[in-house]
Amino acid sequence: MRVEVEDLVLRYGDVTALDGMSFSLEGGKIYGLLGRNGSGKTSLMSVLAAFRKQTAGRVSVGGRPVFENGEAVRDIALIRDTGEAVTIGTAEDALYFAEWLRPSWDSEYAESLMELFKLPRKKNVKEMSKGQRSAMGVVVGLASRAPLTMFDESYLGMDAPSRQAFYDALLADYIAHPRTIILSTHLIEEVSGLFEEVVIIHEGKVLVHEESEALLSRGVSVTGQAAHVDTFTAGLRVLGERQLGPTKSAMVYGELDAARRRKAVEAGLELGPINMQDLFIHLTGGSS
């Protein structure tokens, strides 16, 4: 399910949440949507799911505009951090209405997920623990098998083993039933292995949109004697530096060709990878 966003603007009164955002997702991949609090992640997903109408610009999913388009919206599932079914009654009610709303719903898969997360069918969703409510949202999102499925921090209430069970289930079901999945998360290192492409937004704009491997290949740590590190990194984009005595480590962002890498070796420098979380932190302005 292809997603296209062009010059997207969303305002809440005097606040501009999305500021001329443009990108396209070809679909059939797992995408990571990353951004700091207030960057516009939830606002973007709300527009993609037709929960909100954009102030300006164009949004299409599968070649169709989404706002007030019932046919398009049936193919889109957005599971938010509170879950999609919190106010709908019991877990059983939530499953009933999800099946009614989603033409691609798989009831047998939903039952297997209910067992996986040990969710009580007869319990009112409002009365569930936060972890159970999060798991309930995960069940609805995965079993919907919507061509565009989005999870907006919807699994944060789950404990670590439950989150891992979710990641495993998501990947297995995505392989069996390919579709477009967007994951918004602050638990970057925990889930980044699932991402095929990453969209980083900052202050309502797209900062980075790349394949995960390409993004990670541009981040390199350079460690060695401080003077040699400074010489090597001159002219490069340095995201951050740390120094302990005569030893210095710098985080740089950019392509390092074979010749430059040979120079690093000749200077006695050690080059190493940077994880996605560190890249994200420094690309969006460092620690707050």
pLDDT in tens, 236-255: 999 889 999 999 999 999 88
**How much is the pTM?**
0.89
pLDDT tens digits, 254-280: 888 899 899 999 999 999 998 899 899
Predicted confidence at residue 288, as pLDDT, reads 44
Assess whether 159 and 236 both reside in one domain: no
Shared domain for 257 and 194, answered yes or no, is no
Residue 113 shares a structural domain with residue 234 = no
pLDDT value for 257: 87
User: Using one digit for the tens of pLDDT, what is the confidence trace for 182-221?
Assistant: 999 888 989 999 999 999 999 999 999 999 999 998 889 9
Asked if the structure places residue 62 within a domain, the reply is yes
Q: Indicate if 66 and 201 belong to the same structural domain.
A: yes
* Same-domain check for residues 261 and 197: no
Q: Specify if 109 maps to a domain.
A: yes
288, part of any domain = no
Average pLDDT (98-127) is 93
Helix 91-101 to helix 107-116 angle (10° resolution) is 150
The answer to whether residue 223 is domain-embedded is yes
The CATH number of residue 228's host domain is 3.30.70.2020
At 44 the pLDDT is: 96
Domain tally, the chain = 2
All residues at 6 or more sequence positions from 105 whose CB lies less than 8 Å from its CB, including other chains: 98, 99, 143, 144, 145
Over residues 13-32, the mean pLDDT reads: 94
Structural domain range at position 239: 218-283
Q: Same structural domain for residues 127 and 252?
A: no
Residue-level pLDDT at 157: 83
Confidence of residue 126 (pLDDT cuts 50, 70, 90): confident
Q: Let me know whether 207 and 225 are in one domain.
A: no
Whole-angstrom Cα distance, residue 265 to residue 274? 18
